[in-house]
Each structure stands twice: as structure tokens, then as C-alpha cells.
Amino acid sequence: MAALVLPATLLVLGLLVAPMAILFRISLDRYSPTELVQEALTGENYLRAIADPYYREVLGTTLGIALLCTLLALLIAFPAAWWLARLEGRRRSLAVILTLFPLLVGNVVRAAGWMALLGRDGAINAALRGLGLIREPLGLLYTPGAVVAGIVAVVAPYMILTLATVIEAIPRNLEEAAANLGASPAAAFRRVVLPMALPGIAAGCVLVFILCMNAYATPVLLGGPQFKMMAPAVFDQFVRGTNWPFGAALAFILLLVTLALTLAGSAALSRRTAPR
């Protein structure tokens, strides 16, 4: 058994743990304009990131966008997942393929599509002007709303597929039994389907929240240069500012905040779904 686990363990250590350890070590160094990185053991990069109001605001924006996108993805995905789980045969296979299809397209390409829709000369403004509803184009692009729409479109398939797997395992006869006992469709959903779907909701929300917290291409392309989230801020420090120690500290702050909120949310939902 150990021989079977060893290759996977070594792969994880080599591809995940080792780079993260190196990145953490760099975050404890100092930045030098001439040497770029000066070896040290200091936490000043973390203190600077926590004390700077700009990066606190960036982190707050990232958290707000991630939570909002997770909630919207859940509200959008649940009806679609319920419908997908109740399909049978070829129709279900076709629906799964259509749900997976957006995942075959890169985030940059999808963001470019949203730019074509939301731009001042984009399809939405052109349609509204053609209908005579507006005279001047609306500023839909480079707004928080554009970022939220783009991120939700990216993460929705993950939420749909995760929820559909759980809902499919819920026996239909339970809903029929609730209806026979006089429960309305809303009551059957609230008392039967929703409690049994909570594990899938927890798994989907955790996955989507992590993806939203680490979104890069969509905020950059749809939010514009004035809209900042943590992943683009980390990129700016590494590539544009060449301040590797500070960029590494920002990356670990993003990682720790994401991990802490994910564990807290998972624990809360686990207590709610625990058998009584």
C-alpha cells in the first residue's frame, strides 16, 4: 500500500510543497533595487502588507467579490443542477457536455467575449441603441459588475456539476412521498431536497470561493487598471515592481485568508449537515 501512495506523495511534495516552501522563504527576505532579493529572516513584508491601507482595501475587495460571486453562482447553479440531475439518457449526456463546454475555453478568451458584449461599442450597447432605449452608450465595461458577471460565468459550471452529482443521489420517491403527505413543492424542496443537498452545496461553495479568491484574468480584463484584486496585485509585485519578497508575502496572505475562510465555512456546514 505504501508503495502505491509513495509516487503520488513525492509528486505533491515536488510540485506543490517545495515551491510553496521556496516562496515562503523568499517572503522573509528584503527587497533591494540593485540585488532584487537580499537574504534575511524578517516579517517586515507581512507587516507592510497588513499596515498599508491600499492592500487592506484590495484584500477587502477580493473577499467581497469572492463571496458575492459564490452566492450568485449558487443561486444560478442550483436550479440548473436540479434540472440536470433529473434528466435521463442522451438528454442528460448532452446537457453535461454543454455544461462542460465553457471549461474548454480559457478565461482570457471568455473575458474577451465579455468585453465584446459590454464595451461602449459592444453588442449590448448596440442593441439598446438600436431599440431606441439609450442615446449614449452605457459604461458597462471596467466596472465591478462586469467583473462579477465574468467570474460567475467562469465558476458556474463547477458549481452546477458539483450540485448535480449530489442531487442525483437524492431518491425521487422522497419528494413524491412529501407530496403525498400534503407538502407543497416549495415545502418539499425546503424540507427534503435542500437538507440532503447541503454536502454538495458545501463542496461547491468551497471550490467556487477558492477560484474566485484567486481570479486573475477576469478582474484584469473586465475591471480595468483601477480595479484591483489580490491575484493581480501579486502579479504586479513580481513582474512590474520586481519586488519578489513583498509579492511572495502578498501571495501567502491571500493563501492564508482563503484557507482560513474555507476551513471555517466547511466546519460550519459540516456541523449543520451532521446527523442528529
For 228-264, write each residue's pLDDT tens digit.
899 999 999 988 888 889 999 999 999 999 988 888 8
Confidence of residue 93 (pLDDT cuts 50, 70, 90): confident
Instruction: Give yes or no for a contact between 44 and 31, defined as CB atoms under 8 angstroms apart.
Output: no
| 73-77, 186-190, 224-228, 235-239: range with lowest mean pLDDT | 186-190
d(CA 152, CA 65): 10
d(CA 165, CA 92): 12
For 188-262, list the strands marked E by DSSP.
none
For 10-56, write each residue's pLDDT tens digit.
777 777 788 888 888 988 988 887 777 888 888 889 999 999 999 99
Q: 69-103 b/e with 16+ CB inside 10 Å = b?
A: bbebbbebbbebbbebbeeeeeeeeebeeebeeee
pTM for the model? 0.86
d(CA 253, CA 50): 9
Give the position of cell 431536497.
193
Q: Hey, what domains does the chain have and what are their CATH numbers?
A: 65-226 (1.10.3720.10)
d(CA 249, CA 259): 15
Integer angstrom CA distances of residue 24 from 17, 62, 250, 262, 264: 10, 22, 10, 21, 23
Phi, psi of 113 (to 5 degrees): -65, -40
Overall average pLDDT of the 120-132 stretch: 86
d(CA 37, CA 125): 48
DSSP 226: T
Highest mean pLDDT among 128-142, 145-159, 194-208: 145-159
